[in-house]
Every structure is written in C-alpha cells, then in structure tokens.
Amino acid sequence: MGMNCVFKMDANIVMLGTGNVGKSALTVRFLTRRFIGEYGHIESIYSHNVLVDGRETAFNIWDAPCSQCCESSRQEKQAQWADGFILVYSICDRASFNAVARMVPHIRAARDHAGAEKVPIVIVGNKRDLHHYRTVSSEEGRLLALGTDCQFYEVSAAENYHGVLMVFHGLAERIREARAAGRKPAAAAAGIKGIVKSMSAVFARKRTESL
Ligand SMILES: Nc1nc2c(ncn2[C@@H]2O[C@H](COP(=O)(O)OP(=O)(O)OP(=O)(O)O)[C@@H](O)[C@H]2O)c(=O)[nH]1
C-alpha cells in the first residue's frame, strides 16, 4: 500500500451551477456517503484522500454557494486553481440547465488552447429522484455533453451514493489522462479573464431570468 504514495495525485475540482441545484449535497455525499438535507451557504474547500483505480488521489473540492459565484476575484482564483470542473444542474430546473449550457463553451474557450489537452468537465444532472417534476430530458444532457466533449451523469445526491462516486472518480480519471497526455492543464492569463467575464455574464443573466 505504501507504494501508492509514489503515484499520489492532486485533483483540484470546482463545483459550479446556479443556486439550489445540489452542489453541496453532491460534495457532502462524496465526502461522507450521507445526504443530510440542508447544507447552509458556506463556502468551503474540502480535502479528501481516496483510492481511484488503486491510485491514491487527493481531492480538493471547492464548493461555493451560488450567491457568491458572481464575485470576479473568486472566479479568477477558481479558474486558476481548477484541474477540472463539475457543472451541476437540476433535472427539474430548466434555467439551471441553460446556465450550464452557457458555461461550457466559455470554460472551453478560456481554458483550452491549441496543443493542450482539454480541461476535463463533467456535466451532472442532479435530483434524478424527482423524475415526476423533470423538465430536462436525459437526452438533452447527453447531447450537450457529447457536443462539448464533456462527461455526463444523471444522479440523485439524495438517493444514490454510487452515482455520485462515479462523477468524482470519472473526473479524477480524466484529469489523470489529461496530465499523462500533456502538461498539467493551466489557465492562460487571457483565458482567466475570459472565464471570469463569461461566468459573471451567465449568472447575471440567470438572476434576470428568475426575477
Ligand atoms: N430530492 C432531492 N433534493 C436534493 C438533491 N440534491 C440536493 N437536494 C436538495 O436541494 C436543496 C439545495 O441543495 P444544495 O446542495 O444546498 O444546493 P447548492 O447547489 O449547493 O445551492 P447553493 O448553496 O444555493 O448554491 C437542498 O434542500 C437539498 O436537500 C437530490 O438529489 N434530490
């Protein structure tokens, strides 16, 4: 087991998505295997060491409530820091899906440049247990991911631990592959400005929509 330390990998993951979609619920489910129902609105960076395919992996997960995600200094830090993104929407909330759809190309444009590996992104449709209230079909989620080279999962943080595990492990695998294929994905200075601007735009628009 000690030998695994040689291969220890750090994976900095940023959770993004509009309010109430379950970013904290997914994070806490992954960390503790539990669903506790209410999570408050506290920004946290959690660290968690686990084995992914026999490799020791240190997950650092940045979970910020949506109310704070418009602050550009925070977005700039996140964009610099992230090795991978988890973009969360609720299958019962069409606006949250639209926000994710707008975010993906902006992250791609900001973080991906010629010759570099694409920054790994996982799109997650959460609250699958509430299928009676579904307004976003699985097909739409799948197509969005397919067209933008993202991974896609539909999960329920409330009801299923395994699906949530797959999200985080899947992203860790992609981060490892991206590193093996090239250098560690890093944001170019211009790219960071781009991502900050576009994330502000996405969330500003979301606010207007919900008024
Ligand atoms: N039924 C159901 N409810 C869920 C699920 N995931 C989260 N919730 C609920 O949705 C609400 C919002 O969850 P949070 O994890 O706080 O959402 P968030 O995206 O972190 O929200 P912000 O902090 O506002 O950005 C809570 O009441 C959760 O209990 C799920 O899979 N199914």
Domain map (residue ranges) of the chain: 7-183
Atom of ligand 1 nearest to the CA of 21: 19
Structure tokens that stand for 121 in this block: 């992104």
Q: Considering only CA atoms, which residue is closest to atom 12 of ligand 1?
A: 20
Does the CB atom of residue 28 touch ligand 1 within 6 A? no
Q: Is 75 exposed, middle or buried (0-12, 13-18, 19+ CB in 10 A)?
A: buried
Query: What was the pLDDT predicted at 118?
Result: 84
Range in 48-57, 70-79, 89-98, 155-164 with the lowest mean pLDDT: 70-79
Average pLDDT over every residue of 202-211: 48
Q: Is the ipTM of this complex over 0.95?
A: yes
Query: What was the pLDDT predicted at 77?
Result: 77
Torsion angle in degrees (nearest 10) through CA of 197, 138, 124, 111: -40
What CATH number has the domain spanning 7-183? 3.40.50.300
pLDDT at residue 209 is higher than 80: no
Beta bridge partners of 58: 10, 49
The preferred substitution site among 30, 39, 126 for testing ligand 1, maximizing ligand atoms within 8 Å of CB, is 39
The pLDDT tens digits for 87-116 are 999 999 999 999 999 989 888 877 766 666
The preferred substitution site among 15, 16, 24 for testing ligand 1, maximizing ligand atoms within 8 Å of CB, is 24
| 171-175, 176-180, 198-202, 205-209: which is most confident | 171-175
Cα–Cα distance measured from residue 191 to residue 111, given in angstroms and rounded to the nearest whole number: 6
Q: How far is the CA of 6 from the centre of ligand 1 (A)?
A: 37
pLDDT at residue 190 is higher than 80: no
Name the residue among 74, 197, 162, 171 with its Cα closest to residue 119. Answer: 171
Locate tokens 């079909």: which residue? 137
Q: Considering only CA atoms, which residue is closest to atom 28 of ligand 1?
A: 37
Query: What was the pLDDT predicted at 112?
Result: 67
- Angle (CA) 205 207 211, round 5°: 120
Neighbours of 164 (CB within 10 A): 26
